[in-house]
Structure 1
Amino acid sequence: MSKIDIRHAHSLAPNQAHQAVQEVADKLSERFGMEYAWDGDSTLHFNRSGVDGHIELEPQQLRVTAQLGFLLGALKGPIEAEIRRVLDERFT
């Protein structure tokens, strides 16, 4: 299994950061059939076949971690690059 672990700084207010993560989760659900659930206001868990992870919101940083199954592990580089692109777009 491959693991993704990304930390990304942000300057959003907590409610704005929460809304941005929610929008990303909605898109993941729509595009890839990803299921997700919030654990409190600061952690979003997501999963589907081949991937299991979460996004943790902190005051000035967020962290994305995910375990990729065998097939998606082969695509770790492009998946990680897309995550970083979305984070740069939403959390600058």
Structure 2
Amino acid sequence: MSVIHIHRHHHLGLEEARKVAFLWAEQAEEQFDMECAYEEGDTLDTVYFSRAGVKGTLQVQHDQFELRAELGFLVGAFKSRIEQEIAEQLDTLLHPAGPGKKHKHATKKKKG
């Protein structure tokens, strides 16, 4: 069984981190056909996610996210690609318009 482990520090605080985690869960359901369940705690929230061949958790704290996923045999063949996509998705949610990146909704320039 293959395991994916992604760890990200942040400075959002728990309330803002929850918003990011909810967005991540929504995207995981839509893009990866995952079933997600969200459990809030006082200092730690957990998103449980699963689908055929994949199960895992995203733990949410005031200063970090920690994702662990177990991949079944068949899905494990795509571990690198899956890990890269999840990491990019989480990084985009944590840093939607980092240095040197353009916003999706750029303003139009005037002609003339």
Report if TM-score (shorter chain) is over 0.5: yes
Aligned to 2:66: 63
Structure 2, unaligned runs of 5 or more: 96-112
Structure scoring higher RCO (CA < 8 A, sep ≥ 6) equals 1
Structure 1 contact 9–91 (Cα < 8 Å) conserved: no
% same residue = 37
RMSD over aligned Cα, in angstroms?
A: 1.2
| Distance across 2 between alignment mates of 1:21 and 1:30 | 14
Q: Which runs of 4+ in 1 moved over 3 A?
A: none
Contact 1:33 1:48 in 2 (8 A): yes
- Show the counterpart of 1:76: 79
Higher helix content, 1 or 2: 1
CA distance in 1, matches of 2:65, 2:49: 15
Query: 1:13 offset after TM fit, Å?
Result: 2.3
* Structure having the higher Rg: 2
What TM-score does the superposition give when structure 1 sets the normalisation length?
0.91
Gaps of 5+ in 1: none
The equivalent of 2:100 in structure 1 is: none
CA distance in 2, matches of 1:83, 1:32: 10
TM-score (norm 2): 0.76
Mapping for residues 29-68 of structure 1, pairs under 5 Å? 29-41=29-41, 42-68=45-71
